[in-house]
Amino acid sequence: MRKILVVGEFVEGGASNSYLKVFSDLRYDAQAFNIKKKYFPSVFFSLPKLSYLFFKINDFLINLRLKRLVKRVSPDLIFIAKCENLSYKTIRFLKNKLNCKIINFYPDNPFCFWSGNSNANVLLSLPYYDCFLIWSKMLIPAIESAGCKKVFYFPFVFDENIFDKDFLLDENDLKQYKSDVCFVGTWEKDRQVWLEKLIKKMPNLDLAVWGNLWLEKLDKNSPLLPKIKDNAIYGDLMIKAFRSSKIVLNFIRRQNITSHNMRTVEVPASKGFLLTERTFEQAEELFCENESISCFSDLEELVFKIEFYFKNENERLRIARNSWKHVKKYKLKDNLKVFLEKFEKGI
């Protein structure tokens, strides 16, 4: 198994780029197929009454071109990174008609239709995958019950090509990114509630927020408005923000239930100090609470922990060091290599 087709969304900071690079690093013949490519001018997708139609046509073309590409190149393995706009009929065709081996790593909850991160096609495709990689142990029984033949627990990992970099923060970096507490992530109502309550409890807190939609969604009288620094940041800029902050906050979406998310590994990999909303997998399986991770469950505990780590810098630095050492277990290349070896042996 040497020829791999990586199917995903290839955008700045996207995981599909990392998968493609790591497969190449592992000496596979890796080729990319962009599942989000637009075959019409962008303006067509914003037309009030016709955008839905153009999206449907575009998805039809994507599914058609993927089938044609697979026929032409005959990959040994198709590695799909989410791809919720793939039709289950396409997955069925690739499996039953072309006899392809197909794996999907799904970074969201496949049962959460309400968030827009999944749909019926995702669930109807499950019986045709040779293996479905999922980041939450709690979701494994449900995915198996939905008809998937093999489900493999694959926690979120970090790309060492991005995070294993030695660079010094200069004066300009510190001026732009330094803060006592930072949060990097797209606006969501739950996140807004957390941060607004935090500011009301700690009005003088040096908080910095980066992410899309915050300025559009916040009320004009929100105490968070002065804390919004800019839109989303990725790669080196995100790492600089994590390293320049004393504390990096992480909130777990409802769809992630008792598990974790990308920030769980990205912040420690950045050598930052993570203070995350408590879940079982983070505190007891992936890390060890108060040794390599610090957690909170409610506003009072969040405020207490922030004040505690401001006053006890040595303890904060100790946990950050332990976290950085421990997170090396979750490198993308190492974990993907182990999985592929198991997959080739039939797991």
**CATH architecture designation of domain 165-329:** 3-Layer(aba) Sandwich (3.40)
Residue 150 has pLDDT above 80, yes or no: yes
Cβ(151)–Cβ(134) below 8 Å: yes
| 11 pLDDT tier (thresholds 50, 70, 90) | confident
Nearest to 249 by CA among 272, 217, 216: 272
Mean pLDDT of 317-334: 97
| 167 pLDDT tier (thresholds 50, 70, 90) | confident
Residue 307 pLDDT: 98
Name the amino acid, one letter, at 152: F
- Give pTM, 2 decimals: 0.93
C-alpha to C-alpha distance for 347 and 343, rounded to whole angstroms: 5
Residue 14 has pLDDT above 90, yes or no: no
Nearest to 78 by CA among 56, 58, 105: 105
What's the CATH class of domain 3-157+331-344? alpha beta
Nearest to 4 by CA among 335, 344, 330: 344
Nearest to 126 by CA among 106, 146, 97: 146
Mean pLDDT of 20-28: 95
Mean pLDDT over all residues of the chain? Answer: 95
| 279 pLDDT tier (thresholds 50, 70, 90) | very high
Cβ(18)–Cβ(8) below 8 Å: no
pLDDT in tens, 64-115: 999 999 999 999 999 999 999 999 999 999 999 999 999 999 999 999 988 7
Range with the lowest mean pLDDT among 112-116, 148-152, 242-246, 271-275? Answer: 112-116
pLDDT in tens, 114-128: 878 899 999 999 999
Q: Where in the chain is the domain with CATH 3.40.50.2000?
A: 3-157+331-344, 165-329
Q: What percent of the chain has pLDDT over 90?
A: 88
Residue 25 pLDDT: 94
C-alpha to C-alpha distance for 58 and 336, rounded to whole angstroms: 31
Residue with tokens 């946990």: 319
Residue 1 pLDDT: 64
- Phi and psi angles of residue 41, each rounded to the nearest 5 degrees, phi first: -55, 145
Residue 13 has pLDDT above 80, yes or no: no
Residue 319 pLDDT: 98
Range with the lowest mean pLDDT among 112-121, 176-185, 279-288, 303-312? Answer: 112-121
